[in-house]
Amino acid sequence: MMREYHVRICEGLGVQLPGSTRHLQTHAVQRNPTYYIAKERCWQMLSVRVIRVISSARRSLPRESTIACAAISNAVGRDDLNSGAGTPDMVPLSCGPMPRGNCPKNREQEMSAGFVQTSRAFAYNNAWANYRLLTACVNLSQEDFETERTGFFPSLQMTLNHICVVDLFYVDALEGGWLGPKAWENHVPYPSLPELRRAQAAVDNRLIVVCNTLTPDLLGGIARVNRGARVQTERRDRLLMHLFQHQIHHRGQAHAMLSGTAIKPPQLDEFFSIAEAPLRAIEFDRLGWTEETVWGP
């Protein structure tokens, strides 16, 4: 039997199937509720069909509205659909939470505070990973530091300088500065490791200050980035995530390059897990941190 499903996209955060503890998931919402219909016999097809219906409707929405492709997760079972049991013929699926008025205010505040804390933790993790990597690199000779190796920037010197230069570019923008492309006028501004370590530690601390002063409103606010010929406007949270991704990407390349030397690369593939706190305690002490510095009391 063919069944009809109404999918409602509305503003908010939680997503729930009325009359059930089963949930849907969505990643974006639009301001005004809109309804879409999907008809399918089979559960596996249902989620795909709803996603396609929502996606194809995107072009007809007002410009200021945004909509996500909702993924239906355990909303109804395949056996229920085939047997006609379990759900009525017309199933209202509230995709996106309930209207904002029904979304507890304290829940929204908790989520916003959580995003701020996540950004802070990423800033500390970035500084700690750079500290670990550059401390290991100190044991390289200048020749090893400059030697050509396989990588997008073909030496440890060039790769690590690139990380620092791009950090300077974005951190300046996050601080409200206007440094712009001048940041990379010199692609290797710190030719020796001692110089690079000092410069990287300084910009890492600036990024920590930026993240320590974030509020939910600031995190969701707009940052202006001087691109020379144009001005990029970007949400601050998205700009931060881009910066953290860039750092991790190029640190991984430097880590691989270091594997080709006599120096053992440090572990960089964990994110402050509780169980490994004792293993980083000495480094935290040298950096002047405690676990509470990162996560709060």
Q: Please check the confidence at residue 157 and state whether its pLDDT lies above 50.
A: yes
Q: In which domain, by residue range, is 111 found?
A: 105-295
Query: What whole-number distance in Å separates Cα of residue 76 and Cα of residue 227?
Result: 49
| 82 and 181 housed in the same domain | no
| 110 and 256 housed in the same domain | yes
* Residue 229 pLDDT level (bands cut at 50, 70, 90): very high
Look-up of token digits 């500084």? 127
Which tens digit of pLDDT belongs to each residue from 54-68?
444 434 433 333 333
Which tens digit of pLDDT belongs to each residue from 243-256?
999 999 999 999 99
Q: Which helix (H) or strand (E) holds 282?
A: helix 277-287
| 231 and 163 housed in the same domain | yes
Helices (H) and strands (E) in the chain, counts: 10, 7
| 181 and 62 housed in the same domain | no
Query: What whole-number distance in Å separates Cα of residue 207 and Cα of residue 20?
Result: 44
| 112 and 201 housed in the same domain | yes
Last residue of a domain, one of 102, 120, 143: 102
Query: What whole-number distance in Å separates Cα of residue 273 and Cα of residue 202?
Result: 25
| 164 and 261 housed in the same domain | yes
CATH of the domain at 174: 1.20.120.450
Look-up of token digits 């007809």? 60
Q: Please check the confidence at residue 24 and state whether its pLDDT lies above 80.
A: no
Q: Taking the CB of residue 261, how many other CB atoms lie within 10 A of it?
A: 18
Mean pLDDT of the chain: 75
| 132 and 97 housed in the same domain | no
pLDDT at 2: 41
What is the full DSSP assignment across 220-270? Answer: TSEEEEE-SSSEEEEEHHHHHHHHHHHHHHHHHHHHHHHHTSSSPPPP---
**In sequence order, which residues have a C-beta less than 8 Å from that of residue 88 and are 6 or more positions away?**
none
Structure pTM? Answer: 0.66
pLDDT at 139: 94
| 186 and 73 housed in the same domain | no
pLDDT at 133: 98
Residue 257 · residue 150 · CB < 8 Å = yes
* Residue 14 pLDDT level (bands cut at 50, 70, 90): very low
Residue 223 · residue 239 · CB < 8 Å = yes
**In sequence order, which residues have a C-beta less than 8 Å from that of residue 48 and are 6 or more positions away?**
none
Question: What DSSP state is assigned to residue 176?
Answer: T
| 240 and 182 housed in the same domain | yes
